[in-house]
Amino acid sequence: MEKENVVLIFGGRSAEHDISIITGLQALKNVDDTKYNFYPIYISKDGEMLFGKKLFKIESYSNFSKKGLRRVSFRPADDRIYLSRGKGLYPSFKVSCAVLCLHGLNGEDGTIQGLLELSKIPYTSSNVLSSAICMDKIIMKDVLRANNILTPKSCYIKSADYYLNEEEILSDVTKNLELFSNSCFVKPANLGSSIGISKCSNLNQLMEAVDVAFSYDQRIIIEQAVEDAVEVNCAVLGDADYQIVSDLEYPKSWSSFLSFDEKYISRKEEKLGKKRLSKKLEEEVKKNARETFKIFDCSGVVRIDFLVLPNEEKIYLNELNSIPGSLAFYLFKNQNLDFKRLLNKLIEIGKRKFLEKNNNKYSFESRALANFGSGIKTNKYTK
């Protein structure tokens, strides 16, 4: 049987571009090439999609040059990849699935998922809506609260409002969140990797943090800090019908919170958090992760991060990462899933979701156009 073609997409116009290259190259080293032909597609920092052999090598990304690479394009209702030759773009092979290794904006947020939906290409992450909700910290928290999932108390501000009336808005936020008997975290709504995030314990710090966050996004969220929390992450793999819940990971936060370098550049065993939760709380975290995955209609692999107060037995959900770093493969060791098997599962899930969706009815016979043409006034477009 002829092998199917799978593209693995990474890089992207996002603050997490470099992390995404690492996830992409890790995945490429672990593909099951007995089943599929894998092709890397790299999205450069300026958003160009590129194709070619040198994308397999990590050296290609320092002092990156497009030399030797071909431009890639997708077209609506056409599941083939288009590649550049000279000035033209020509159809190449049919894509059976796109493995998404993109983090942050323009990748994890539903945008590339939308492009692939239009091209009728299955993909490995959550759908457009679910991805967009997981990416936006403001809406994500609204959905959590609407479903009675505990998350730190928060408010949000838009820059258009804030700079017209800073004093009143700051005073409202301070009152609502009972600052500064509590510290708070200020975050841009749509970034990741702790970029633009500050922890504040007084008004001056808050004002500065708000300006910093607004330099990254038009909308920001301010939330009560959960002090002395045990941070714990849990990944869930699956879709609406079945889920596999991973082991827990205890990332260490030895300063006020994990910064970019701590999280990605130097993730080492000895830096993992020392505090552990009781078995009972661990099970509750896992149950919460599975329920949240279902409520958000996620699919693929999602890592959900919690802040837990063990003495009070309170489990706060901090965030969902709909395409986690390294696709969170390292959390599934005890589920008999190595990276290769995880990738196979993700592709199977993506293809199954695609088929399910395409079994939905997209059109129905209506008399609307005929009636409109013959001048009949109607707003009931029934058979």
Ligand X SMILES: Nc1ncnc2c1ncn2[C@@H]1O[C@H](COP(=O)(O)OP(=O)(O)O)[C@@H](O)[C@H]1O
Least separation, in Å, of the C-beta of 47 and ligand X?
A: 21
Least separation, in Å, of the C-beta of 130 and ligand X?
A: 17
Burial grade of 201 (CB within 10 A; 0-12, 13-18, 19 or more): middle
Nearest to ligand X by Cβ — which residue? 257
Least separation, in Å, of the C-beta of 196 and ligand X?
A: 8
Considering only 108, 223, 239, 249, the residue that binds ligand X (CB under 6 A) is 223
Our finding on whether 315 is near ligand X (CB under 6 A) is: no
Least separation, in Å, of the C-beta of 185 and ligand X?
A: 4
Our finding on whether 326 is near ligand X (CB under 6 A) is: no
Our CB check for ligand X shows the closer of 28 and 101 to be 101
Contact pattern from residue 137 through residue 156 relative to ligand X, giving x for each residue in contact according to CB under 6 A and a dash for the rest: ---------------x----
Q: Which stretch binds ligand X (CB under 6 A): 62-70, 84-92, 218-226, 375-383?
A: 218-226
Our CB check for ligand X shows the closer of 23 and 119 to be 23
Buried-exposed string 59-81: b where 16+ CB fall within 10 A, e elsewhere:
ebbeeeeeeebbebbbeeebbbb
- Token look-up 């470099």 returns 18
Our finding on whether 185 is near ligand X (CB under 6 A) is: yes
Least separation, in Å, of the C-beta of 296 and ligand X?
A: 16
Our CB check for ligand X shows the closer of 24 and 152 to be 152
Our CB check for ligand X shows the closer of 256 and 371 to be 256
Q: Which stretch binds ligand X (CB under 6 A): 35-43, 91-99, 189-197, 340-348?
A: 189-197
Considering only 257, 282, 294, 341, the residue that binds ligand X (CB under 6 A) is 257
Our finding on whether 192 is near ligand X (CB under 6 A) is: yes
Least separation, in Å, of the C-beta of 152 and ligand X?
A: 4
Our finding on whether 231 is near ligand X (CB under 6 A) is: yes
Least separation, in Å, of the C-beta of 150 and ligand X?
A: 12
> What is the Cα Rg of the chain in Å?
23
Q: How distant is the alpha carbon of residue 193 from its chain centre?
A: 12
- Token look-up 């059976």 returns 96
Our finding on whether 307 is near ligand X (CB under 6 A) is: yes
Our finding on whether 319 is near ligand X (CB under 6 A) is: yes
Distance (Å, whole) CA 121 – CA 37 = 16
Give me the residues that bind ligand X (CB under 6 A), please: 152, 185, 187, 192-194, 197, 223, 225-226, 229, 231, 253, 257-258, 305, 307, 318-319
